[in-house]
Structure 1
Amino acid sequence: MTNFIVPDLKITPRTGGYARGQDGFEHILRSALALLVNHGSAALTLRRIATESGMNVGNLNYYFRSKEELIRELLNAVISSYEESFDEIVHEAGATAEARLENLVMLILEDITTKKTTRFFPELWAMANHDPFVYDRMNELYDRARVSLNELIGEINPALPEDERKILALFISASMEGMTMFAGYEKPWRAQMPMLEIIARRSFIQLVSTLRPGEIKGDLSIGGS
């Protein structure tokens, strides 16, 4: 797989009467992302976003009627960029499911080392602890992000039932996300990320390939046949 960084945002073109405001719409979302990454969630106010975008709050309200609407659009643009990148890997022609899973793991772990990802997601996690709206949007975001993992798990181990594939995808996703605080941008173990990638790729492939139906529910003995 060619190494690349997931685009910061994938913004769906607006239609109808909103199409004329596409440039302003995108500029505001990029300004909001920059504020969150560089200054944290406390800076994510409509007034601060408007200033960062070079406009007043009244102009900002033309594009977004509320902070919640802006956050919804920002998170949608972020996860859409991941979905596009994941889809490219998952449906790579001629590659085995195991190779595609390895490539997906590599992409995610390499993306974790970027400043945007290391700063953006922990800020959202903190916001989700106190804001039900952000909490719901984050759950939606990660549900969408795990679709690709779930698909590859099903290809590699089709005997696993759907509910167990979802749990396994959650475990793999959470294991990689956990690296953010240790090996992300400017974190203590950043230089060791290549070694962590090797461990992750091998262990996840082994786990997905060998897990038997019912095993994670305790339906089979540890040493069963």
Structure 2
Amino acid sequence: MDAVERLLVSVGHARMTMRAIAEEADVALGTVSHFGTREQLVEKCIKRLFDWYFEEFTALDLRNADDPKQAFFDLVRYIVDDLESVRTSRLFPEVWAMGNTNAEIQSALDWLFARERDWLEGHLRDGWPALDDAAVRLIIGTLIPMIEGHVMFAPSHRASLYEEIKPADAIIFWLNATLERLESV
């Protein structure tokens, strides 16, 4: 699975072959074929990766933090900063593209984003308990695509929209302004 992930990052799904997986894993081609088709290997790799991300979310649960507002911003910053890594910024666009034609991968994406949504909603409610359900859904429903869409401009391998602005700072600025506005209404 590690070899599949490394190849998804380095050459992408379209150029990844069973032979390349075998070479990357330093095993015989027959050994790789024993684990199924290329698509089955990719699906297993993606599900394993998403399990890892979910464990990361759980480990970062700051719901009992002294300052729940700051904890929420710290969690958002963690996600955005991770998106700037070469691994994540190359892997997720590949996974999104595969999800368009592979129901198993789309199901795994849906599972991951539902966990992310629930996790962020819980932390948002801790910091801003006066927000009603509609406001929470609106904020998180805007925040997740904003965060995930940022990967398309992640500076690890693409030109940044604004070199001098850190994406995490921009997203947190928007969040803070939105939440301050909602608190004042």
- The corresponding residue for 2:114 is 143
Q: CA deviation at 1:59?
A: 1.7
- Find the aligned partners of 1:192 and 1:87 in 2 and give their Cα distance: 32
- The corresponding residue for 2:49 is 78
- Find the aligned partners of 2:75 and 2:47 in 1 and give their Cα distance: 20
Contact 2:89 2:154 in 1 (8 A): no
| Corresponding residue to 1:160 among 122, 129, 132 | 132
Contact 1:183 1:192 in 2 (8 A): no
| Structure 2: 5+ residue stretches without partners | none
- Find the aligned partners of 2:23 and 2:94 in 1 and give their Cα distance: 21
| Structure 1: 5+ residue stretches without partners | 1-28, 213-224
Q: Segments of 4+ in structure 1 off by > 6 A?
A: none
**SS of 1:40 mapped into structure 2:** coil
Contact 2:57 2:119 in 1 (8 A): yes
- The corresponding residue for 2:18 is 46
**SS of 2:66 mapped into structure 1:** coil
Q: Deviations over 1:145-200 (max 9, x none)?
A: 32321211222333422x66345323211101222222331322284353x32232
| Corresponding residue to 1:87 among 46, 49, 58 | 58
Contact 2:69 2:128 in 1 (8 A): no
After superposition, the Cα gap between the structure-2 partners of 1:208 and 1:57, relative to the gap in structure 1 and judged at 3 Å, is farther
% identity of equivalent residues: 23
TM-score w.r.t. the length of structure 2 is: 0.81
Q: Deviations over 1:108-139 (max 9, x none)?
A: 12112211111101111222223333222222
Q: Deviations over 1:38-76 (max 9, x none)?
A: 0011133434322321223432244x3344443333223
**SS of 2:26 mapped into structure 1:** coil
- The corresponding residue for 1:30 is 2
- Find the aligned partners of 1:73 and 1:66 in 2 and give their Cα distance: 11
After superposition, the Cα gap between the structure-2 partners of 1:155 and 1:38, relative to the gap in structure 1 and judged at 3 Å, is same
- The corresponding residue for 1:103 is 74
Contact 2:83 2:89 in 1 (8 A): yes
- Find the aligned partners of 1:172 and 1:154 in 2 and give their Cα distance: 14
Q: Which has the higher contact order (CA 8 A, sep 6+)?
A: 2
Q: Which amino acid aligns with 1:79?
A: F
After superposition, the Cα gap between the structure-2 partners of 1:79 and 1:165, relative to the gap in structure 1 and judged at 3 Å, is farther
- Find the aligned partners of 1:209 and 1:70 in 2 and give their Cα distance: 46
- The corresponding residue for 1:200 is 171
